[in-house]
Structure 1
């Protein structure tokens, strides 16, 4: 911070003493150091976690600030004790989520720690675990199962969940408690969709999504269900060779069948998609490959005088998927004789930081001569910049020039070992990987920034955005922004988003008190390049664009054609008549509701708002975003913003959709009238009456979708409840008369002016029951027998009939009841 200025008058040493005509202003800057611990927003936190729950469900979020230098320190959150088994915390945000949903007790008390790198404090967290209160609601299934193919980038409906128990026309709201950025649920219909982010089975094979249904007025009385989404495998991964690079050697006198080397490739896919076979490009040469194990063997012997010859062997690894995917690798196989130097490794590799001092040894190469002679080492290829040297007699590689990760992140050297007596030589590859260090500070796009903002600007108004880049890699290139405080307390009046560099007003501004703010913005990874940024605050009667109203509201139908105009945002007459040019633009937010997808665009000159993408009220019922007006005044731009609200009016653009195109049921004949057989369910994502579904056995136009009527064409055997979709018997069913019934069920919404409808087919099989008595074909039968007939002779044949259809029910047995002399 900076202390208030002091006025100093400095006299000289003459006689008489004279003082400076004008006083000097002295400003003493006090540099901030990390001498204060962070502070939690609360001393303790408490949350209620309703059961059932699942992994990834949010429990609560803790928040802390650092008094040092306006949050210059990056705060890190962590758990300190035994509850790590059940909960986890996001280190940068303090979001506490469920890690293990199997709870053994109803209360968990543990500490959360926040650290700024030097100091840390803890806060007590209490999580109460309760069963959800009885809501009278219940999902049709406790667990839903769904499948989706990986790599599908389209928005796809995964499952539709339905809760029952609400009153007629009583709305329910569905919530996905652990969406994880990959799924979403339509709050009124219960349809679970992907968000268009392709799923990767190799990253996550199954997702457990916890869905909650409840009424708006009581959030503790809810029903929950689990949706298990299985990601099915697609052959999208080629085999990958491991342990690269490969080098192999074989003696010239080796016999056919000798094992030379084994390659290994892995495939992350599943089943046949992940099974790997190996093939050689040249199957008729000196080498052969075991297709299952990847072992390279000698197929044909070498000529006896062959020496120092290197073969480039091309190996393919192919999976068994459809279509199959493959990858290849080429590696050298050197034919050696007993006179050639032999390296103690097939290849060498080393990692070294880019800031390694010059003349630092980094790796030792060792080769031995079969004859026991000395070996000389040289670097033959891979070092055009002369960054490395090798001891000709020691084999020690050293760095002799500065390395730069940003220019060359790796180097591949070829080192030759030569036998001093025979001149025989061998070569080996050396891989030098350069590790990045944070040696590049962030660089701002501009040396300074200037803007103008009105004193009437509301809190949260965007002033401008600063941007810096860093040429380092990964985390060394991640830039975060902070405002450096000064004596004008600029940090109290402005806030900067640490990730994007967007500067916003944090307090009301007063031109009569402070007309100009000057402060530094720090962009840092580990470096510190301070940058000046100038924000001039002008009074309200200056040339600041002023809108004619504090908010502009529009209502549009969801089927509004792309390119249609909603209306314009207007400035006050004094501004619009100004000779200075004014340009309008839409401020793009971070969520769909704040126009992050660019659904609306603003004409730069007129401020007219135009629809640029299709609307869908079922997903986004309203938009809230800002439109900015910029008045160009020479080197400075005066900026003002206004809120815009766009309400999307529902249109009956969705038909009710049945869960299935056809339903099947089986019942036994003889059921009493009114017996429930089957329930059908159709969902309509539209709002209110447009999405309210009724059921009927009558087609459109006949009964107007009122439902509940009996239709003669179906034999008047069935009726359907127009509200619930339950199909019941209207009278007894007879298998012998009609062994099966096929009927069509219609679902209508109550949309106005026109209703939408769809249908599904119901097949009801009527199984046979033993409800028919066997009947003799004649009332009396006569037979005759001679006294000489032997036992077993046929006396008479009795004919009977049974109207049941199944073999078991039609089987007739006979016995004599009396007068059997």
Structure 2
């Protein structure tokens, strides 16, 4: 058959049918060479496809056949033959012969069906199964007796198939041709002249089978006839056609039908045997006939989807060789024995969670080999998932989304597709598609709380871990990777990053510097958590870092002031009663809380049985009656201790004079002063003094003369300008934290003397206790100021001329009395007179004095 290819004109008929379903049909002859042109898809499809569309859509051919006969050239948009096509192998006797496949494109997804019809060429000759046919015919065979001849088989169809038989020329037999309802050709020999065994015991003929192709092909078989002795009556079937039905799922061994023939002869000539005649070879594996009883049984499996009916020729042969022919028609009854077959043609996974409803996820092909209602298919999925199935082409379904997704709630779906036919009972099959939902950055990081409180003790080392913030992001992968940052804020005029840093990955806050509670009690900052999405999302949280106090400051004594200058002693009259308030130790602690709770204890005393110190208020009081035996000079050492862990303390010495008048104690305190100044280094000071005394004497003499002249000129200018004198106020000793023991209240007490002959003083009285002021002088005298009168007005006052004394009073809320101590002194010498004015609050003083030396 291949030698005739060059002479066969190839006709390609392109038919576009079922335009709504995008179907196209081509027609080609069989046995075309590989690479032969089949059709131009780019031009023939009605969707306006071009070559660029074919390439961008990743066009491909999908076929359910095991062999792909057609190949698509995407660069040219044409279909070519990829495998040798043998129509007889592909379709056998079925005509017309065709096969179909689908062309799938993506982005967007399209589906087109292509059907290729295979035209037959005369490439097969008629062939007989046997090389010879043998007959044994009795010489008594009547004229007109029929002898069935073996049929030839031609794999070609139509005009290329078997057309006729020719019997070689002879006098005994003529050939008569017949056709079955399905077009099969067979022939019979008819006896037209009586046989004469004595004249011709054997007869040899040739039967030639011819097809209708060009060139014509033929097949030949030899017929050998042996003439037997007389057998006058041939067998006769009871009916010429036997009809039977069988279910396609019938079991092996099922009896299909029974044929019966009779012979009028007697004896051995009436014995009949049954056999199949001219039956195709593959039917021998399905049907079997008992040659004695004529029972036809099922010995193989039958399938309605392959063959819907069978037509079998049968023969009844007697012992004399006479035969009769008949026919058995077997109709196959279809049953629903094939479940639908699901084939996923295309599947897109993952799908982004922001995909719009109606997005195509998969294309599914479902096929059922059964026919009619048994092959009608219904495709469905679960109702509780956001998908639906739509039918496009016949037996093709698309799976599309039916709502929006949220990957954080459902990260993937198991979609079970069920295909059910309409048979009774119905059969179904399922397949499961696992669809993953890809993440979109649609969730910002979230903190557990909007604000956090953290604590750190002051004096911490730099780099110390303070607190850890943590945020969660329900997104996935990079969209859930969180980084932490500090918002650019100011703390006390400085960037927050100069106080605290944060680890961008772990969210751990570290101290950049050591904190001091007395300077900064609380630090508030904003932490930003940002994910790694594009664009990134973020959220903020407030962190309040509370700095905890440590006992890192010792108490500080405000009163009495411990200086190396004037000696301050408290005077206790000998007539003082028990509980007499001598003085009060005033101290503060800049720490806070219990670290600033102060307690006062008497550490040492000249006479411990005479004085006691208030544990909480620091008041020094007498605990017994003062007697004449008590020493005039008393020295107390008071320890001020805070309540911290460990505690810190300060020590203050208080000098107390037990006497009723100044002269009584003057010598005692002078000795005390001198004793204090002399120590183990006395020799060193004497040597040093001798070394510089000469230089100091000359220098001081020059300085004193210069200062006197300068002050005299200044006093003249001041007197003439009549300007007020601005008083001096000592700096506040403030409690910077607001938690110490010292309130911000100041009281001033001012007293002064004018001319020694005309003293006039107006001031507010501070209390009833006495204050003793010790000032060293060249004469070693003491000055005493009492609250009820000024000692400067006494005639025997040791002060030279006039003096102005200003006292600085402290008044505490929890104290019953006020304390006062001298702030500064003015010593007035009689020189040139000028007016001096001092005012503060409700206290005013005025004096006409001479030059004031401070």
Query: TM-score, normalised on structure 1?
Result: 0.38
Q: Higher helix proportion, which one? A: 2
Query: TM-score, normalised on structure 2?
Result: 0.36
- Please tell me whether Structure 1 or Structure 2 has the larger radius of gyration of its CA atoms: 2
